């Protein structure tokens, strides 16, 4: 019995780690997409060189601020703090863990039945989020700066 349990524990820990990593990635992308959507679409930022060319012109272009590299980098520095607003939900059939928001963005009441709200869950999710944000910063910025489709699937399922 001890040998059987010893063989099953690493598999259970790996599954938990995989669920946590996947959940953190999906929550990270959700939060980034929500933050991007909150920016006024008319807001722009100047990008390019501020040096004057020999002909007297400048190579400066205005790009939408919401999906600019500067804005996305700023978001990546603070987005993982939002993981404290998530709880853990276990699927009764598969026993897979997923992570859901427990505080809505707009203040509407949420169904939290079966959701575990715990400081350990939040800190584990935040740590996983920070690891993903650091390791995949370039890919996140690339996908989000171009309004790529299915960022969650492309990044969280295929890449990470």
DSSP code, position 156: I
Q: How confident is the model at residue 44 (pLDDT cuts 50, 70, 90)?
A: confident
Q: Which of 15-19, 101-105, 138-142 has the lowest mean pLDDT?
A: 15-19
* pTM value > 0.85: no
Q: Is the pLDDT of residue 12 over 70?
A: no
Please report the pLDDT score of residue 50 as a whole number: 66
Show the tokens assigned to 113: 């039945």
Please write the tens of the pLDDT for every residue from 56-75.
777 777 888 888 999 999 99
- Average the pLDDT over 39-68 and give the result: 80
- Average the pLDDT over 79-92 and give the result: 93
Query: What is the distance between the alpha carbons of residues 8 and 19, in angstroms, rounded to a whole number?
Result: 17
């Amino acid at each position: 019995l001890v040998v059987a349990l010893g063989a099953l524990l690493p598999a259970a820990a790996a599954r938990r780690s995989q669920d946590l990593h996947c959940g953190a990635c999906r929550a990270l992308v959700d939060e980034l997409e929500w933050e991007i959507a909150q920016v006024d679409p008319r807001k722009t930022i100047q990008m390019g060189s501020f040096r004057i060319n020999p002909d007297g012109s400048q190579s400066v272009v205005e790009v939408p601020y919401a999906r600019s590299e500067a804005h996305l980098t700023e978001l990546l520095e603070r987005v993982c703090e939002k993981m404290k607003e998530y709880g853990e939900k276990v699927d009764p059939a598969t026993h897979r863990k997923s992570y859901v928001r427990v505080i809505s963005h707009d203040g509407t009441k949420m169904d939290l039945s079966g959701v575990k709200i715990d400081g350990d869950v939040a800190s584990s999710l935040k740590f996983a989020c920070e690891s993903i944000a650091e390791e995949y910063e370039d890919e996140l910025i690339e996908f989000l700066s171009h309004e790529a489709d299915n960022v969650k699937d492309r990044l969280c399922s295929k890449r990470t």
